[in-house]
Structure formats: C-alpha cells, structure tokens
C-alpha cells in the first residue's frame, strides 16, 4: 500500500520479493545494498537464522529522490521461503505495491516454484488483494547452474508468459538491478495512475488502496503458533558499504523520471497506463482468466505426472525385487550344477589314477618278461651259431655211425623244442601288448570324458 503525503508530495511504496526457499531473494537485496549509492539505499535489515535462512523478512529502504516533483521511496522486503512460514509471508506481503517473484531455474525446483506462486496468490486474496491488480516481474534466477530449465519451458509450465521477465544470476549480481529498475518503474507508473484516478485532498496524508495492509508497517509480527516453530533469531544490521554504484543503477531514478514523462511508453510500461481504459481492462481480465485456466491445467498435469511417477516408481521397485529373486534362484541352480560337475570330475580323476597305477604295474611286468625273452633270444643265437659250426665240421669229416649222429643231433632237437617254447612266449607277449593297448584306450577315453564334463 503506497503512502502519499500530498503536502510534501512524498510517495512511499512497498516492493516484496517473493519465491520458494533458497531461490535468492535475500541475495537480491544484498546485491542492491552493495551496488546502490549509500545516499540511495539505507541499512539492510536481515532477520535470519545463523545459516542465513530468512525467518521473518529482510528490509532495504531505497530513496530515489525527487522525480517530477515527487519524493519517491521504496521499501524492499523479502519473505521467508521455507514452507512452514506461510503466515509470516502473508503478513510481509500486506500492502505490497509491486512484487518480484524470484523463480529458481533448477528443474528440480519446478514444483516448489509452482507451490510458492500458488501461495502468493492465496495470501494476496487473504489480504484482500489480487495478483491481477499489482505489478509483477518474474526473475528467473540461478541461470548459471547446469541443471536448469529453459526460460520458455518455465514460462509455459508456470503460466508466466504474460509477465515481464528478467534472467539473473543474483549471486554474481547479474540481472539484479535490471529487476529492481523494472519493478520500480512498473510500480511507480501504477501508483501514478491510481493517484491520478483518486487525487487526495491537498495537505492530507493518503493511503492508496489496492493492496490493503497494516498502515506504515512493512511487516507485522506473525501469530504465536508460528513463532513457536521458529529457530532462535539473529538480528543483523549491516552498515551500507561504500562501494561504487553501478552506472546502470545510478540512473535508476532518472529512468523512472523519464518513464513518467515520456509518452508513449514502451511495453510493458505502456500496458500499465493503458490499464485505465475499460476495453483494456476487459482484455486484461480475459488474459488473466486464460492464465489462471492454464495454471490450473498445469497443476492438474503436474499432479497426474506425479501420480504416474509414483506408480512407475512402485513398478520399478517390484521389477527390481523380482529380478533379484530370479538372480538368486539362478545362482543357486548354477552352484548346484558346478558342485555336481566337480563331484563327477573328482570321481573320474580317481578312476583315472587307479587305471594308471594298474597300467604302470602291467608295464613293469611286461618289461621283465621282455628282458627275459631278450636273454633267451641271445642264448638261442649263440646255440644256432654253434650248431652251424658243428654241422659244417661234420660235413667236412667222413660219415659217422648212427650213435655218433644221434649224439650230435640231440642238442639240436633240444634247441628246436626251446624255440617252439619261445614262439609261444612271443604270442603271449603279443596278447599282453594288445591288452595293454586296450587298457590305455579305455583310460584315455575316461580322462577325456572327465575333462569335458
């Protein structure tokens, strides 16, 4: 609610920075406090926790000096973004003549932005005001972060397309003064329009209706129930720093003055003035209705999307469990199979070992027999040579008697008998060899099966 002293032509308006928790509202005021000329900005009053979360409000008085014969003052206030402090938000919002809605550009913050925007509208209604009657600027903050939505997507999702906008990185001071200049112009033009519509009596102090609030108090105490939920307070009064004002900020007052003088004004400021004509009001109302409808649609869509996401999450969990069960069963089957194979392999290996031992024994016995056979063969060869020699001697001698011949033939006959015995030995060895070959084949087959298994 603007305060206007007609005798001194002093105008004091209130601009509220609204938005979800940690979106950068306090940072906006801190940057302005640093950048505005010390004669322009007063002390920054911050009522926050030790971790710098606003629990009541931040307040920065700004005096823009004389503009077209009016002394213009703004009181910039922030609300606490934390969901629990809605009552304080509503009270801080009382009497707002202009609103900066600071939206957090991170995609994860979309539902919080929407919730905060809804709470802004509801709180205005509870205060007897309406968003449609107050100048609003949307600041899309945190544009430096990686996981952000495009401004177009945010406008679409939040239904902000018809509001003037500024992209910002408040923590680096970007877009902060632009936002302030835009909202102060719109607020100033709106106040002028309202003052011209209902000029107060000369010398009287006037309150311009539009967003009723507690007279002269930018904020009031929240109710006791809410107070009990609050952490301990830290009161911070920061002295204005003697920093050099930004060139663009220095000219803020001059720009306001020029905005009031120059006709026609550029959009969107022109819209603010044109708003007094009935056709434009009707058009504006139609726009607002369309916007509200879209917002409701978006809210419905978000709710449906959230429900689908919850269902999908449950299905994924169920699928994960069933997958884990399948894997466990597969593991058990695999372990059983491996165990069976190991048992079979061990049995085959033991059978192979005993077959090998038998084979080694057989080979030993055969080697002994072959040794003996070699010795007999050598003896036989020796006897044969002896016999040949004896025969050749006898053939050279005159014919002998039958007795003598018998004596000479006896060893030869014995030798013949021995040779026959040797032939049966050879057959025996051959059989043995064949038996061994079959045992070897059998053994290698078993070993092959065991390894394949």
Of the pair 19, 210, the CB lying nearest ligand GTP is at 19
- Residue 61 interacting entry, from Mg ion, ligand GTP, none, C-beta within 5 to 8 Å by type: none
Instruction: Tell whether residue 105 is a contact of Mg ion (CB under 5 A).
Output: no
Binding mask 204-243 for ligand GTP (x = CB under 6 A): ----------------------------------------
Alpha-carbon radius of gyration of the chain: 54
Residue (of 23, 6, 37, 17) closest to 248 by Cα position? 37
Q: How far apart are CA 83 and CA 93, in angstroms?
A: 15
User: In which element (H, E) is residue 62 found?
Assistant: strand 54-67
Q: How far is the CB of 147 from Mg ion (least distance, A)?
A: 22
Q: How far is the CB of 175 from ligand GTP (least distance, A)?
A: 8
Specify the stretch interacting with ligand GTP by CB under 6 A; choose among 46-54, 121-129, 132-140, 437-445. Answer: 46-54
- Residue 380 interacting entry, from Mg ion, ligand GTP, none, C-beta within 5 to 8 Å by type: none
- Residue 103 interacting entry, from Mg ion, ligand GTP, none, C-beta within 5 to 8 Å by type: none
Residue from 5, 151, 167, 169 touching ligand GTP (CB under 6 A): that is 169
Q: How far is the CB of 38 from Mg ion (least distance, A)?
A: 23
Residue 78 forms beta bridges with which residues? 17, 58
Instruction: Tell whether residue 26 is a contact of ligand GTP (CB under 6 A).
Output: yes
CA geometry: angle at 80 spanning 79 and 81, to 5°?
105
φ/ψ (deg, to 5) at 122: -65, -45
Q: How far is the CB of 36 from ligand GTP (least distance, A)?
A: 17
Give, to the nearest 10 degrees, the angle between helix 110-126 and helix 86-93. Answer: 60
Residue 343, both tokens: 């048992």
Asked if 186 contacts 135 with a C-beta cutoff of 8 angstroms, the reply is yes
Of the pair 80, 218, the CB lying nearest ligand GTP is at 80
Q: How far apart are CA 330 and CA 321, in angstroms?
A: 14
Specify the stretch interacting with ligand GTP by CB under 6 A; choose among 25-33, 273-281, 390-398, 418-426. Answer: 25-33
Contacts of Mg ion in 19-38 (CB under 5 A): 25-26
- Residue 116 interacting entry, from ligand GTP, Mg ion, none, C-beta within 5 to 8 Å by type: none
Q: How far is the CB of 17 from Mg ion (least distance, A)?
A: 8
Instruction: Tell whether residue 53 is a contact of ligand GTP (CB under 6 A).
Output: yes
Instruction: Tell whether residue 54 is a contact of ligand GTP (CB under 6 A).
Output: yes
Contacts of ligand GTP in 237-296 (CB under 6 A): none
Instruction: Tell whether residue 88 is a contact of Mg ion (CB under 5 A).
Output: no
Instruction: Tell whether residue 342 is a contact of ligand GTP (CB under 6 A).
Output: no
Q: How far is the CB of 25 from Mg ion (least distance, A)?
A: 5
**212-216: long-range pairs with CB below 8 Å, 24+:** 212/1, 212/94, 212/95, 212/127, 212/128, 212/129, 213/1, 213/14, 213/94, 213/95, 213/96, 213/127, 214/91, 214/94, 214/95, 215/1, 215/3, 216/3
User: In which element (H, E) is residue 412 found?
Assistant: helix 402-452
CA 271 to chain centre: 43
Residue (of 87, 85, 80) closest to 59 by Cα position? 80
Binding mask 40-59 for Mg ion (x = CB under 5 A): --------------x-----
Q: How far is the CB of 317 from Mg ion (least distance, A)?
A: 37
For 240-275, the DSSP string reads: PP-PPPPHHHHTHHHHHHHHHHSSSPPTTHHHHHHT
Cβ contacts of residue 137 below 8 Å, gap of 6+? Answer: 98, 99, 100, 101, 163, 164, 165, 166, 179, 182, 183, 186
Q: How far is the CB of 195 from ligand GTP (least distance, A)?
A: 32
Site size toward ligand GTP (CB under 6 A) is 22
Contacts of ligand GTP in 76-115 (CB under 6 A): 78, 80-82
Of the pair 199, 231, the CB lying nearest ligand GTP is at 231
Q: How far is the CB of 192 from ligand GTP (least distance, A)?
A: 30
Contacts of ligand GTP in 138-167 (CB under 6 A): 141-142, 144-145
Residue from 14, 24, 75, 103 touching ligand GTP (CB under 6 A): that is 24
Asked if 273 contacts 193 with a C-beta cutoff of 8 angstroms, the reply is yes
CA geometry: angle at 292 spanning 290 and 293, to 5°?
65
Report the interface residues with ligand GTP, using CB under 6 A: 19, 21-27, 52-54, 78, 80-82, 141-142, 144-145, 169-171
Q: Which residues bind Mg ion (CB under 5 A)?
A: 25-26, 54
């Amino acid at each position: 609610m603007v305060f206007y002293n007609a005798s001194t032509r002093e105008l004091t308006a209130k601009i509220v920075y609204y938005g979800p928790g940690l979106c950068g509202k306090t940072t906006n005021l801190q940057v302005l406090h640093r950048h505005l000329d010390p004669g322009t900005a007063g002390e920054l009053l911050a009522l926050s926790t030790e971790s710098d979360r606003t629990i009541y409000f931040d307040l920065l008085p700004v005096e823009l000096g004389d503009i077209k014969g009016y002394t213009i003052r703004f009181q910039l206030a922030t609300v606490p973004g934390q969901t629990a402090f809605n009552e304080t938000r509503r009270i801080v919002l009382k009497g707002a003549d202009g609103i900066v809605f600071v939206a957090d550009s991170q995609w994860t913050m979309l539902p919080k932005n929407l919730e905060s925007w809804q709470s802004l509208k509801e709180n205005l209604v509870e205060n007897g005001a309406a968003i449609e009657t107050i100048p609003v600027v949307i600041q899309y903050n945190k544009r430096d972060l990686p996981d952000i939505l495009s401004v177009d997507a945010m406008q679409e999702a939040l239904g902000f397309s018809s509001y003037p906008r500024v992209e910002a990185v408040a923590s680096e001071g970007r877009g902060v003064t632009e936002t302030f200049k835009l909202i102060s112009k719109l607020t100033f033009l709106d106040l002028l329009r309202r003052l011209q519509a209902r000029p107060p009596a000369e010398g009287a102090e006037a309150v311009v209706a539009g967003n009723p609030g507690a007279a002269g108090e930018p904020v009031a105490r929240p109710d006791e129930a809410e107070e009990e939920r609050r952490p301990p307070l830290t009161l911070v009064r920061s002295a204005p720093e003697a920093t050099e004002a930004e060139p663009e900020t220095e000219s803020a007052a001059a720009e306001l003055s020029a905005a009031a003088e120059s006709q026609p004004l550029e959009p969107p400021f022109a819209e603010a003035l044109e708003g007094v004509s009935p056709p434009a009001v009707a058009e504006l109302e139609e726009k607002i209705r369309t916007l509200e409808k879209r917002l409701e649609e978006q809210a419905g869509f978000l709710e449906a999307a959230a429900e689908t996401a919850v269902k999908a999450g449950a299905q994924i969990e169920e699928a994960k469990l069933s997958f884990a069960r399948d894997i466990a069963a597969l593991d058990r089957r695999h372990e059983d199979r491996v165990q069976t194979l190991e048992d079979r392999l061990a049995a085959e290996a033991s059978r192979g070992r005993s077959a090998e031992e038998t084979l080694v024994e057989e080979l030993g016995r055969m080697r002994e027999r072959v040794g003996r056979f070699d010795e007999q063969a050598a003896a036989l060869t020796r006897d044969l040579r002896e016999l040949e020699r004896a025969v050749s001697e006898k053939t050279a001698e005159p014919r002998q008697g039958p007795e003598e011949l018998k004596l000479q033939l006896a060893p030869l006959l014995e030798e013949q008998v021995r040779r026959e015995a040797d032939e049966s030995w050879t057959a025996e060895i051959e059989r043995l060899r064949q038996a061994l070959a079959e045992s070897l084949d059998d053994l290698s087959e078993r070993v092959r099966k065991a390894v394949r298994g």
